[in-house]
Amino acid sequence: MIRIICLECSRCPPLSYIDSKAVRTKLAENLRTILTPIAQLGDKIRTELPGALAKEEEAQLTQGQKEIIRMQKEQRDCLEKLVHMHHQKCVLMMEAAELKMGPLLGHELKLQQAQAQLLQTKADLLRMYLINEIFSRTDHSLKAHEEVDKYIDELLRANQTERR
């Protein structure tokens, strides 16, 4: 990494003393701003858990801390098992859906379409029959009304001629 940086720096134009000092100062300030919070966090961890950053951290942990770590590991394992079980459940549900709907789905769909077509044909036939009946009865009833009107008119004329 350092070699790459040096190679990249060798391709840059030479800097004057003032420019190189400004770059060094800016670089130092950036490193301080970035690394200071990390160092403060390390100091805080060392004060709160004095042996946490040591190599033999297991030996320096209290029984309660060990129990917490064990429970965290157990929770992580249980969560991994839960995720695995949910995945298996989804796979089994997909397989069950494929078994349930598989090749029969096409036949059931065709059957449903045929039943719908039959029902539509029956509805169309009934509609045409009713329209035919309405028009034929309307014609008959219109003729009957006209005939009754004609007879009434004849009877009224006959009564009028008798009275005169």
Query: Over 107-137, what HEC string results?
Result: HHHHHHHHHHHHHHHHHHHHHHHHHHHHHHH
pLDDT of residue 2: 44
Measure the CA–CA gap between 43 and 50, rounded to whole angstroms: 10
pLDDT band at 81 (very low <50, low <70, confident <90, very high): very high
Show which of 75, 101, 127 is a domain's final residue.
Answer: 101
Q: Examine residue 132 and state whether it is found in any structural domain, yes or no.
A: yes
Q: Report d(CA 164, CA 162) in Å as an integer.
A: 5
Do 110 and 78 belong to one domain? Answer: no
User: What's the DSSP call for residue 51?
Assistant: T
Share of the chain above pLDDT 90, in %: 3
Among 47, 81, 101, residue at a domain's last position: 101
Q: Which of 78, 80, 58, 55 minimizes the C-alpha distance to 69? A: 58
Q: What is the domain extent for residue 85?
A: 61-101
CA 127 distance to own-chain centroid: 44
Count structural domains, the chain: 3
**One domain, residues 89 and 117:** no
Percent of the chain exceeding pLDDT 70 equals 80
| Residue type (1 letter), 23 | V
Residue 115 domain-assigned? yes
pLDDT at 141: 74
CA dihedral (85, 90, 91, 96) positive or negative: positive
Q: Does residue 24 lie within any of the structural domains?
A: yes
pLDDT in tens, 114-139: 888 888 888 888 888 887 877 777 66
57 — pLDDT class (breaks 50, 70, 90) = very low
User: Same domain for 34 and 52?
Assistant: yes
Long-range contacts of 31-39 (CB under 8 A, 24+ apart): none
Residues ≥6 apart with Cβ < 8 Å to 61: 51, 69
The predicted pLDDT at position 14 comes to 75
Let me know whether 43 and 74 are in one domain.
no
Separation of alpha carbons 44 and 87, rounded Å = 41
pLDDT in tens, 18-55: 888 888 898 889 888 898 988 888 888 888 876 666 66
Task: Tell me if residue 14 falls in helix, strand or coil.
Answer: coil
**For residues 56-64, average pLDDT:** 66
Cβ atoms < 10 Å from Cβ of 57 = 13
Structure tokens that stand for 48 in this block:
């709160």
Q: Is residue 131 part of a domain?
A: yes
Assess if residue 12 is contained within a domain: no
Q: Are 46 and 57 in contact (CB under 8 A)?
A: no
